[in-house]
């Protein structure tokens, strides 16, 4: 571990406090957008088709961006406060640029009515739109800003880690693969940070290509790009972004869980092999988004299925085994932090399993355009990433003794978690009943049973969203109070 | 060789280069889109780059200035890829000279700026350039209408194809630079963002 001086630490503390407040404020607002969508699908309210897609776009882009930014911000803080020197000015540059990007997206969607979905499926944002051209341009520019901020952040962290741990080969753990004894232990969080952020750099650069193409298209409507090429670029960017969000969080689970279990969690050969497999296959797994595109060469579909299996299974299996060996007979005190981490890993595993099921070509033929897809990504985001983030915030702001005494947060947490699982169950049930995804409502479906099942499940799911919000609110009492104290008290680390 | 003599030879070489590209072969280079976009524009940039390389010791830009210069360079290149600008540069002689001068200046600062700047910014710059070239190339290649009235549609498509190839090459070069920068020996030598900003 490196020593950080008190001035630098204070600066890093301010930055993470800023990220935390931003996350805590925006997150429930984005949930409310999700609630509105499900209320509309459940025929409880009538948003109108246009507004539904506006809300869907902001909810999707907002959640993906917010969760990645907070996960990255937390990883940044953890690395900066323990292992490497990270430049605070770069940290603030990223924060400011992300906020400008988010404001741009909010204006483009809520005022400009941009409603092309997070995936911006080409040529959807340009042909026959119900929103003006400036809203599309503003969305694209905002996304470029977000991409640049994340890109600079990723490169900065990777360089800092490589400098501190002796180069690329060392931060991805290759020194463990030789016969020589390793002199300096590599913290697992460093390995996972490198494995997550390097593919991020490659994906963000690819994202820049399609965003510039979109910008050109916006200025010259007559342009006609290859749809398949654009879709490949979008999903390479989007899928990698969502994947690395999760891996950023897993990094700090590896770092923080041992503090609660009292057992060391070290890097070993198996861990290096499995995470290196993830490093490689994460870049090709996105092909599973294109199974329905018959013009995509068949070998790429097969590669997509194989890469999905190989990118998910080794890291999941090794991490789950690691978590179990951390907690098994460890006399761990089940305060909110280890609970969120354990159940977050469970959420990741459940959502990941559902994702692997869907990435199987034979099954994808049936499930691709159904609610199974939002089911799986809501599982690993809501009951995985969000739990990790909440766990991180509790770890940041409360001592272990304070966590034991804080019964209110535990109550809020269980309320949140049970409601979240019931909520995603409604999506899974929808998927299994062939309820289509991305439909603003189901009134136009000529099959009465599909219409009624879809609407009923959506209406039921809103009850769980209300409960989930109540659980979150209960946790917020504790988080906000403690975050304020932690931020003001210099002795609290 | 005597320093002042070396300087004179350098300046004469640069001027000869400019004279050939901007005056002597200007008409020939403006005849086709490939020559104009893929030879003349990069050649002026290259002459500027070599001039900057020659006088690199005299140019010591500040960290914040380097970012501004890189942004201006990107905008200059984007500007001269816009069909209307290309047309004007071919038709109007004054506009043509402005283009040459702009590319020369952009190239002039490129070496001192890139060698002084931090790896993070360098990679973002190269990555954005690669993305821009690919996107511009795809646009020229796929558009079935004539974008620049001074050239033909076949020339437009061929230029687009070459721009895509250059963009892809630059993209992989950027990844290579990024990964090469992670070698231990490279990391020791390089100016990094922590050190450079902390020491300012």
Task: Note the pLDDT tens digit of each residue in A406-442.
Answer: 999 999 999 999 999 999 999 999 999 999 999 999 9
pLDDT in tens, A122-148: 988 998 889 999 999 999 999 999 998
Contact B120 A216 (CB under 8 A): no
Q: Is residue A493 part of a domain?
A: no
Distance from CA of B106 to the nearest CA of A (A): 21
Please state the rounded mean pLDDT for residues A296-324.
90
Q: Do B143 and A226 touch (CB under 8 A)?
A: no
DSSP code at position A312: H
Across residues A367-379, what is the average pLDDT?
A: 95
Q: Is residue A236 part of a domain?
A: yes
Average pLDDT, chain A: 92
Q: Does the residue A174 lie in any domain? A: yes
Contact B182 A168 (CB under 8 A): yes
Chain A / chain B CB contacts < 8 angstroms: 99
Q: Could you give the number of structural domains in chain A? A: 1
Q: What percent of chain A has pLDDT over 70?
A: 99
Q: Does residue A370 sit in helix, strand or coil?
A: strand
- With a cut of 70, say whether residue B123 has pLDDT above it: yes
**Per-residue pLDDT, B179:** 83
Q: Is the dihedral of CA A169, A173, A175, A177 positive or negative?
A: negative
Give tens-digit pLDDT for A74-92.
999 999 999 999 989 889 9
Residue to mutate among B66, B122, B124, B186, with most A CBs inside 10 A, is B124
In chain A, what are the helix, strand and coil shares in percent, each to the nearest 5? 75, 0, 25
- Answer whether A87 sits within 8 Å of B132, measured CB to CB: no
* Residue A200 distance to chain B (closest CA, Å): 12
pLDDT for the residue numbered B199: 37
What pLDDT is stored for residue A136 in this prediction? 94
Q: Which domain holds residue A350?
A: 6-488
**A239 has pLDDT over 90:** yes
Are A212 and B144 within 8 A, CB to CB? no
Closest alpha carbon within chain A to B183: A167
- CATH at residue A124: 1.20.210.10
Task: Check residue B58 and report its DSSP letter.
Answer: G
Supply the pTM of this predicted model. 0.88
- Contact residues on chain A for B182, CB-CB shorter than 8 A: 158-159, 162, 167-168, 171
> Residue A224 — pLDDT band, cuts 50, 70, 90?
confident
Whether A213 and B121 lie within 8 Å, measured CB to CB: no
Quote the pLDDT of residue A361.
94
Which range (A141-145, A435-439, B15-19, B180-184) has the least confidence?
B180-184
Question: What per-residue confidence (pLDDT) applies to B189?
Answer: 53
Between A58 and A314, the more confident residue is A58
Binned at pLDDT 50, 70 and 90, residue B191 comes out as very low
Any bridge partners for residue A370, and if so which? A436
Backbone angles phi, psi at A436, to 5 degrees: -70, 150
Q: Which residue of B has its CA nearest to A205?
A: B127
Residue-wise pLDDT for B102-113, tens only, equals 999 999 988 888
Contacts 24+ apart (CB under 8 A), A414-418: A414/A471, A415/A467, A415/A468, A415/A470, A415/A471, A415/A474, A416/A468, A416/A471, A416/A472, A416/A474, A416/A475, A417/A343, A417/A383, A417/A387, A417/A471, A418/A467
When pLDDT is averaged across residues A30-43 and rounded to a whole number, the result is 97
- Does B182 contact A209 at a Cβ distance shorter than 8 Å? no
pLDDT, residue A230, reads 92
Q: Do the domain assignments include residue A106?
A: yes
Tokens (6 digits) for A242: 């969502």
- Is there a cis peptide before residue A34, judged by omega within 30 degrees of 0? no
- Reported as a pLDDT band with limits 50, 70 and 90, residue B36 is confident
- Answer yes or no: is pLDDT of B1 > 70: no
Q: Mean pLDDT highest for which of A108-112, A214-218, A319-323?
A: A108-112
Give residue A2's pLDDT band: very low, low, confident or very high (50, 70, 90). low
Residues of B in contact with A168 (CB under 8 A): 179, 182-183
Alpha helices in A181-297 (DSSP H): 188-219, 227-261, 269-281
Residue A195 has pLDDT above 60, yes or no: yes
Q: How distant is the Cα of B21 from the closest Cα of chain A, in angstroms?
A: 30
Of B139, B174, B198, the CB nearest to A223: B139
Whether residue B12 has pLDDT greater than 80: yes
The arithmetic mean of pLDDT across residues A171-188, rounded, is: 88
Q: Where residue B11 falls among pLDDT bands split at 50, 70, 90?
A: confident
Give the model's pLDDT for residue B198.
40
Contact criterion met (CB < 8 Å) for B187 and A167: yes
Q: Say yes or no to pLDDT of B63 above 80.
A: no
Quote the pLDDT of residue B195: 46
In this complex, do A151 and B127 lie within 8 Å of one another by their Cβ atoms? yes
Q: What's the pLDDT score for residue B186? A: 58
Cα–Cα distance measured from residue A273 to residue A268, given in angstroms and rounded to the nearest whole number: 9
pLDDT band for position A110 (50/70/90)?
A: very high
- Reported confidence tier of residue A3, pLDDT bands at 50, 70, 90: low
What DSSP line would sit under B32-48, residue for residue? SHHIIIIIIHHHHHHHH
User: Is position A192 within any domain?
Assistant: yes
The CA distance from A143 to the nearest CA of chain B, in Å, is 14
Average pLDDT over residues A265-293: 90
Interface test with A, best of B67, B128, B160 (most A CBs within 10 A): B128
Task: Pick the residue of B119, B172, B187 with the most A CBs within 10 A to test the interface with A by mutation.
Answer: B187
User: Cβ contact (<8 Å) for A226 and B138?
Assistant: yes
- Contact yes or no for A160 and B192 at CB 8 A: yes
**Any idea which residue has 């299925």 for tokens?**
A305
Closest partner CB to A224 (pick from B142, B179, B182): B142
More confident of the two residues A361 and B179: A361
Residue A1 has pLDDT above 70, yes or no: no
Please check whether residue A63 lies inside any domain of the structure. Answer: yes
Task: Give the pLDDT score at B196.
Answer: 45
Residue in B139, B145, B181 nearest the CB of A216: B139
Per-residue pLDDT band at A234 (split at 50, 70, 90)? very high
Residue A59 lies in a domain: yes
pLDDT (0 to 100) of residue B87: 86
What is residue A300's predicted lDDT score, i.e. its pLDDT? 94
Query: B187 and A223: CB-CB below 8 Å?
Result: no
Sheet strands (E) in A51-178: none
pLDDT at B197: 41
State the pLDDT confidence band at A192, using cuts at 50, 70 and 90: very high
Mean local confidence (pLDDT), B151-174:
91
Between A187 and A6, residue with greater pLDDT: A187
What is the average per-residue pLDDT within B69-81?
84
pLDDT of A342 reads: 95
Which residue in B has a C-alpha nearest to residue A225's C-alpha?
B142
Alpha-carbon gap: B25 to the closest alpha carbon of chain A (Å): 31
């Amino acid at each position: 571990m490196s020593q950080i001086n008190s001035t630098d630490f204070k600066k890093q503390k301010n930055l993470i406090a800023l990220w935390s407040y931003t996350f805590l404020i925006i997150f429930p607002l984005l949930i409310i957008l999700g609630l509105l969508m499900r209320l509309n699908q459940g025929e409880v309210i009538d948003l109108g088709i246009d507004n539904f897609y506006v809300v869907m776009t902001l909810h999707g882009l907002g959640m993906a961006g917010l969760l990645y930014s907070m996960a990255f911000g937390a990883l940044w803080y953890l690395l900066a406060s323990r292992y490497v020197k990270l430049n605070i000015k770069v940290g603030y540059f990223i924060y400011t640029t992300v906020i400008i990007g988010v404001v741009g997206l909010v204006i483009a969607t809520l005022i400009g009515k941009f409603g092309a979905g997070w995936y911006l499926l080409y040529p959807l944002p340009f042909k026959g739109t119900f929103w003006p051209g400036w809203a599309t341009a503003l969305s694209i520019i905002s996304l470029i800003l977000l991409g640049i901020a994340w890109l600079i952040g990723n490169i900065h962290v990777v360089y800092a880690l490589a400098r501190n741990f002796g180069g690329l080969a060392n931060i991805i753990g290759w020194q463990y693969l030789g016969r020589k004894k390793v002199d300096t232990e590599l913290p697992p969080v460093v390995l996972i940070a490198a494995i997550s952020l390097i593919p991020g750099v490659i994906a963000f650069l690819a994202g820049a290509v399609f965003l510039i193409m979109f910008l050109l298209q916006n200025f010259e409507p007559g342009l006609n790009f290859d749809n398949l090429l654009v879709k490949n670029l979008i999903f390479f960017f989007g899928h990698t972004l969502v994947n690395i969000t999760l891996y950023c969080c897993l990094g700090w689970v590896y770092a923080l869980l041992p503090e609660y279990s009292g057992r060391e969690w070290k890097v070993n050969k198996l861990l290096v092999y499995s995470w290196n497999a993830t490093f490689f296959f994460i870049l090709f797994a996105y092909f599973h988004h294109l199974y329905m595109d018959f013009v995509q060469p068949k070998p790429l579909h097969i590669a997509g299925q194989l890469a999905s299996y190989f990118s998910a299974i080794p890291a999941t299996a090794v991490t789950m085994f690691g978590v179990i060996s951390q907690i098994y007979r460890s006399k761990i005190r089940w305060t909110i932090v280890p609970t969120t981490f354990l159940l977050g890993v469970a959420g990741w595993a459940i959502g990941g399993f559902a994702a692997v099921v869907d990435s199987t070509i034979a099954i994808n033929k049936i499930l691709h355009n159904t609610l199974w897809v939002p089911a799986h990504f809501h599982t690993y985001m809501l009951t995985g990433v969000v739990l990790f983030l909440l766990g991180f915030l509790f770890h940041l702001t409360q001592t272990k003794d304070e966590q034991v005494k804080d019964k209110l947060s535990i109550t809020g947490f269980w309320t949140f978690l049970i409601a979240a699982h019931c909520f995603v169950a409604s999506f899974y049930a929808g998927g299994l009943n062939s309820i289509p995804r991305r439909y603003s409502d189901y009134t136009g479906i000529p099959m009465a049973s599909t219409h009624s099942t879809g609407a009923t499940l959506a209406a039921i799911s809103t009850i769980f969203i209300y409960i989930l919000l109540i659980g979150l609110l209960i946790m917020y009492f504790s988080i906000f109070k403690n975050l304020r104290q932690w931020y003001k008290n210099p002795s609290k680390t | 060789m005597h320093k002042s003599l070396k300087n004179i030879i350098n300046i004469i070489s640069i001027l000869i280069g400019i004279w050939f590209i901007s005056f002597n072969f200007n008409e020939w280079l403006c005849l086709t889109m490939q020559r104009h976009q893929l030879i003349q524009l990069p050649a002026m940039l290259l002459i500027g780059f070599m001039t900057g390389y020659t006088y690199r010791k005299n140019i010591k830009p500040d960290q914040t200035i380097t970012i501004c210069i890189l942004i201006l360079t990107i905008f200059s290149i984007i500007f001269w890829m816009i069909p209307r600008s290309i047309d004007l540069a071919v038709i109007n002689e004054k506009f043509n000279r402005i283009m040459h001068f702009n590319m020369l200046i952009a190239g002039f600062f490129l070496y001192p700026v890139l060698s002084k700047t931090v790896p993070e910014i360098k990679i973002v710059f190269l990555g954005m350039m690669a993305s821009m070239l690919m996107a511009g190339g795809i646009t020229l290649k796929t558009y079935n209408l004539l974008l620049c009235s001074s050239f033909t549609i076949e020339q437009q498509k061929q230029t687009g194809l070459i721009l895509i190839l250059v963009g892809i090459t630059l993209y992989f070069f950027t990844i290579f630079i990024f990964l090469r920068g992670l070698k231990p020996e490279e990391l020791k030598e390089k100016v990094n963002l922590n050190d450079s900003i902390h020491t300012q």
